[in-house]
Amino acid sequence: MRPENLKTAREEQSGVGETPTACSGVTIGQAVLRGVLGRCPCCGKGRMFRAFLKIADRCSACGEELHHHRADDFPAYLVIVMVGHIVVPMVYSVETQFRPPEWVHLALWLPLTLGLALALIQPVKGAVVALQWAMGMHGFEPARKARELAARRVVPPSYRATT
């Protein structure tokens, strides 16, 4: 048996056995809300985006790695569905009530559709990445397990000394 105050190299690296991190009590809802706001899903302080749609490799505040995300085209699909559900009923309503010429439709709906899509894409992408982080999807899984173990202050059997 080894003394309790000594840690293996794996424990030091993963943070297992330390006090709970800032991320250990974050719910899925909190993480997604932080993602919508463009903040780190872990601490809520650092920026998630380094450019308009480029996710930062890691949080500048807490150091949580964010490069594991696999958002791909899913945020764009969600934005298309959301904008469609907003714009199509409006187009239908205006057409049935006022019967404007086509140029009015083009002047109204094209800028509105483009503006809504651009306004929604970053918050939706942030929410998707934060959801992946909160659920431990893709490369986020090892970090999630380490956070959960640290929160419970449990050392898994594979980390314990065999002497």
pLDDT single digits (tens) 32-84: 999 999 999 999 999 999 999 999 999 999 999 999 999 999 999 999 999 99
Is residue 35 in a domain? yes
Question: CA-to-CA distance for 146 and 153, rounded, in angstroms?
Answer: 10
Residue matched to tokens 């239908």 = 92
Domain that holds residue 130: 9-159
Is residue 43 in a domain? yes
18-22, 53-57, 89-93, 141-145: range with lowest mean pLDDT: 18-22
Question: CA-to-CA distance for 123 and 149, rounded, in angstroms?
Answer: 30
Residue matched to tokens 């959301």 = 82
Backbone angles phi, psi at 151, to 5 degrees: -65, -35
Fill in the amino acid letter for 53: L
The CA-CA-CA angle for residues 38, 29, 34, to 5°, reads 15
Write out pLDDT tens, residues 4-13. 444 444 344 4
Total tally of structural domains belonging to the chain: 1
Partnered with residue 58 across adjacent β-strands are 65
Is residue 96 in a domain? yes
Is residue 1 in a domain? no
Is residue 3 in a domain? no
pTM, rounded to two decimals: 0.78
Select the more confidently predicted residue: 157 or 91.
91
